[in-house]
Chain A
Amino acid sequence: MAASVTGAPRCLKISCPLSLGTGDTCLENLELSQCTSYQGDAAALTSTTPEEVVEAPDPQSTSEPFDESPPTGIDFRSGQALDAKEARSITAQAETRLIMLTGAQHCGKTTLLAEIYEAFRQGPINEVRFAGSKTLIGFELRCHLARADSGRSAADTSRTTKADLRTMLHLKLRSTTGLDSGNDLLLYDLSGEAFEDVLKSAEVAQEVHAFERVDQLYVLLDGTKLANTRTRHAEIRKAQRFLRRLDEEKLLTMCRLVYLLCTKWDVVVQSGASDDVLEVLHALNGQPVAESASLKLHTHTLAARPSDSSEVPRWDGISELIQFWVKQQNDPLPPIRRPTPHSTTQGWIRFGLGGGFE
């Protein structure tokens, strides 16, 4: 039997936490010894170092042969979303702002991130250019289920779970005027499960260290729920309880801005409830984040990926958000004014600009 040298463990699945060393189980929640996606014998990988010699598979075997050659050359960063440790490589190099998106499950956090990336793949957004990203694979993975390559016939987005340690996507933006030096953003996708846990437990809230570093916090409100009078207030109150928890735990020390973002605005418009929802959002605008907090709430509406039949255009509301992220670099204290009164025809486009998008 011939012998070969094993390399570092590699998984056939690109985002496998085992392969990345960020978890004890694989994508299917299997332990290494049970996972069949590793290249080579899993048992051997658990017991050998990269330099150890293991027996090669039986040459008579009918199974697909794995590449037995040792990996050579230099490995680069994975291109995937970053965990806290990896994010330091970004923050150490450039002034970086941490922007957190959170909200209940299925409110559209990951879809928003995916569609921001898809929008830049079409060209600059309202005088803001894409200037780079260390997490292109992370963005690509989040877009995959909405692409034809996925083989699906309807767009979807993979869900972020609280087990995901790679929660941050990096995006460098630059104004087309070239007057800024570039804006390095870390976009933190806090899972719906983690959001719920924070509601339930102060201890859990304290464990999310990122809260203390957040510059801008965006709590997403599911437009589907806001459109329905039976679920509207529960959705808003959940967001308020979440913010109160962070305020009580004194976790928003670095935060300069808090937004309530109404997602799936196309659903709201289609339901005929847009005026009612705007009124509710309008009332929240300028309110304190929590009873004793000095931070004020702002509101905005978004339709990141509206349905084909919707009258609301794709990426509605995203360009204002992006412009704001870039402008803020030169404008550390956002001006706060009352929102522009909305008209019945264009109100859903204009509403929400009052919080600093102007």
Chain B
Amino acid sequence: MSSNVVILGLPGTGKTTFVAALYVALNHAAHDAVFDLKCSPSNATYFERIAEQYTAFKEVGHTPTTEFEIGTLQVRHRSSQELFEIHIPDLSGEAIDALWTARNADDNLFQLMQDATVGLIFVRPDPRRTPTIAEADEILNALGESSDDIGDIVTNKDMAIETTISEYDPGRASDDVKMVEIVQILTEEANSRRLQLFVIISAWDLVQNRNADVQPIEHLRQEFPLFCQFLESNPELFESSVLGLSAFGCDPADDTAIDTLSGQRPEKRCTLIMPDGKMTHDLSNLLALFLRENL
């Protein structure tokens, strides 16, 4: 039995880190893991490279636009011994962003979207926004800044001020709008199949540090209001669930946190918040969600 997964997400949303963490979790499955790897992939070069970076607490490499990796994992459901083949592609975020900016997909991505039965949709916890002039004024006023000549406010990481009048640049659209379009295109190309979509909010530890009680769906509703409405309004096109994932385990720049985590087994580093709010360190639980009908 096989499952075609397409992993979509804008640049820097943790797609490759996820693939690395999943490979490590399956390859060194703990005794209580739901799935394990039945055998090593026939071509494991890519998986081994990113797994090595992951276990060494190095930031897992950015996937170049020109590179296209697709790995096939043969996994076994521990309790039923049922075998599954999962095709996992790792695409660059830039190639996915181009669905919105250039209105174009390369042949590989297009084929993946056409064949997909499962979509893993990665979003960052603090998305890029496009505030109106009035909203930007409010932010600046709150910060005690002048509101004249506002050029650009980027709220996810830093704030920059430009003074030139700019033409519309689709690349600078909010993540919220881009994700609507990316999933719309995916569903349009999915040949009328009803997809299973798992929206995964990466770097979930950042969200939990701010609010330990918040659930992934609540966070999505707040940070991606348009995307969330879209997901909730199209049950005919797809079934969607929202999860939180801390794949790396901590802030990659936080040496103290890394020292603490390094004492643990790598496959236990990640934290996954399931759609029902339960927390697990077994990333293979995600596979159980999209393979559940076959178990």
List chain A positions with a Cβ less than 8 A from chain B. Answer: 13-15, 71-79, 118, 120-124, 129-134, 136-137, 140-141, 143-144, 146-155, 172, 174, 178, 182, 308
State how many angstroms separate the Cβ of A127 from the closest Cβ of chain B: 12
B117-156 interface bits toward A, Cβ cutoff 8 Å, 1 = contact, 0 = none: 0000000000000111111110000000001111111000
Interface residues of B in 150-178 (CB under 8 A from A): 150-153, 162-170, 172-174, 176-177
A-B contact count (CB 8 A): 127
Given contact pairs A79-B103, A147-B133, enumerate 18 new A-B contacts (beta carbons under 8 Å).
Answer: A14-B170, A72-B106, A73-B104, A76-B103, A79-B100, A121-B177, A124-B229, A131-B233, A136-B180, A140-B170, A144-B167, A146-B133, A148-B135, A149-B169, A151-B150, A151-B166, A155-B133, A308-B134
Measured CA separation A146–B130 after assembly (Å): 10
B261 in the interface, Cβ–Cβ < 8 Å?
no
Q: What are 23 sample pairs from A and B whose C-beta atoms fall under 8 A apart?
A: A14-B168, A73-B109, A75-B104, A76-B105, A121-B174, A121-B177, A121-B225, A132-B230, A133-B180, A140-B170, A144-B167, A148-B152, A149-B151, A149-B169, A151-B151, A151-B152, A151-B162, A152-B133, A153-B133, A153-B149, A153-B150, A174-B233, A308-B134
Contact A73 B106 (CB under 8 A): yes
B83 in the interface, Cβ–Cβ < 8 Å?
no
Interchain residue pairs A-B with the least CB separation, the first 9: A131-B233, A148-B136, A73-B106, A129-B229, A144-B168, A174-B233, A151-B165, A130-B229, A74-B110
State how many angstroms separate the Cβ of A15 from the closest Cβ of chain B: 8
CB contacts (< 8 Å) of A79 on chain B: these are 100, 103, 181
CB contacts (< 8 Å) of A124 on chain B: these are 229
State how many angstroms separate the Cβ of A230 from the closest Cβ of chain B: 31
Measured CA separation A146–B137 after assembly (Å): 12
Contact A76 B185 (CB under 8 A): yes
List chain B positions with a Cβ less than 8 A from chain A. Answer: 99-100, 103-107, 109-110, 130-137, 147-153, 162-170, 172-174, 176-177, 180-181, 184-185, 188, 221, 225-226, 229-230, 232-235
Contact A129 B232 (CB under 8 A): yes
CB contacts (< 8 Å) of A172 on chain B: these are 233
Measured CA separation A207–B267 after assembly (Å): 68
Measured CA separation A154–B150 after assembly (Å): 10
CB contacts (< 8 Å) of A123 on chain B: these are 221, 225, 229
Chain B CB within 10 A, most for which of A123, A143, A147 = A147
Chain A CB within 10 A, most for which of B100, B135, B233 = B233
State how many angstroms separate the Cβ of B232 from the closest Cβ of chain A: 6
Of all chain A residues, the one with the shortest Cβ separation from B111 is A74
Measured CA separation A72–B234 after assembly (Å): 31
Of all chain A residues, the one with the shortest Cβ separation from B101 is A14
Measured CA separation A118–B176 after assembly (Å): 12
Contact A140 B149 (CB under 8 A): no
Of all chain A residues, the one with the shortest Cβ separation from B106 is A73
Contact B165 A137 (CB under 8 A): no
Contact B233 A129 (CB under 8 A): yes
Task: Indicate which residue in A73, A130, A149, A152 contacts B233 across the interface (CB closer than 8 Å).
Answer: A130
CB contacts (< 8 Å) of A133 on chain B: these are 180
Instruction: Please judge, given known A-B contacts A123-B229, A148-B151, A151-B166, whether A76 and B172 are in contact too, CB under 8 Å.
Output: no
Measured CA separation A120–B148 after assembly (Å): 27
Measured CA separation A75–B99 after assembly (Å): 9
Contact A149 B104 (CB under 8 A): no
State how many angstroms separate the Cβ of A333 from the closest Cβ of chain B: 26
CB contacts (< 8 Å) of B173 on chain A: these are 140
CB contacts (< 8 Å) of B225 on chain A: these are 120-123
